[in-house]
Amino acid sequence: MDIKKTIADGGNNMKKAFEWTLNEFGTLHTGKANPGMVENIQVHIEAYGMTQRLKDMAAITTPDAQSIVVQPFDKGAMEDIRKAIQSANIGINPVPQGNFLRCPVPSLSGERRLELAKRATQMAEEGKVRVRNARRDCLESLKKANKDKLVTDDEMKRSDKEIQTHTDKYTADIEKSLKAKEAELKG
């Protein structure tokens, strides 16, 4: 058994959990326009009878801090895109303007900021659970190898410490990112 590879894989899975959490934070509306707020919205195209992510069917830009511009590659999909953004329940009401949609990003109320801060905390907790799951999977793999006499007890103890170091690092990174997101939400 390659202990270093097992630990590296566990560390990579923890890193992915951290990156997933950052990506989730990016979907939160903080009062500033951000393409991440809309790019993963699923759009059902009636004409083709299919569903796609918005970023796969339109150019998404932020010309200023208060608006997002969505320019569909296929102009015929504009109404479907408008409906999808409206029904995504993110507080954005797209306005058709020629061959694109302007999506004004409303400023946040105090109540909405608190709601979003709670949501960010939930996302962070979910990210930490993913980190701990990666830790558990890595340790189980090593324990099985230890039981099968492929890993010594000393190697097991060293590996356990190294895995815990990765876990602590990514958990702390998620906490740090959560604090930054909360500060951003407070405006």
CATH number of the domain residue 53 falls in: 3.30.1360.40
Domain boundary among 47, 71, 104: 104
**pLDDT recorded at residue 92:** 86
Residue with tokens 């015929």: 76
The verdict on 42 and 93 lying in the same domain is: yes
pLDDT at residue 106, as a whole number: 81
Question: Do residue 125 and residue 74 come from a single domain?
Answer: no
Q: Quick one: which of 167, 169, 105, 90 has its CA closest to 135?
A: 167
Q: What is the pLDDT at residue 187?
A: 66
Domain count of the chain?
A: 2
Examine the pLDDT at 9 and tell me if it is beyond 90: yes
Same domain assignment for residues 99 and 115: no
Sign of torsion, CA 75 77 83 85?
negative
DSSP state of 76: G
What does each C-alpha distance from 183 to 15, 31, 92, 102, 177 come to in angstroms? 23, 12, 22, 28, 10
Q: Tell me: the pLDDT tens digits for 35-53?
A: 888 888 999 988 788 899 9
Residue 98's identity, in one-letter code, is G
Other Cβ atoms closer than 10 A to 13 = 19
Q: Give the residue, 112 or 6, on which the prediction is more confident.
A: 6
Euclidean distance between CA atoms 178 and 168, whole angstroms: 15
Structure confidence at residue 23 (pLDDT): 87
The residue from 79, 104, 129 where one domain ends is 104
Q: CA–CA separation, 130 vs 142, rounded Å?
A: 19
Which domain covers residue 21, as residue numbers? 3-26+109-186
pLDDT digits (tens, 9 = 90+) for 112-171: 888 888 989 999 999 999 999 999 999 999 999 999 999 899 999 999 999 999 999 999
Does residue 115 share a domain with residue 182? yes
8 Å CB contact between 151 and 145: yes
19 & 56 share domain: no
CATH number at residue 15: 1.10.132.20
Q: Are residues 20 and 52 in the same domain?
A: no
68 shares a domain with 42:
yes
What's the predicted TM-score (pTM) here?
0.71
Q: Which of 104, 132, 158 is the last residue of a domain?
A: 104
* pLDDT per position as a tens digit, 69-86: 999 998 889 999 999 999
d(CA 26, CA 56): 18
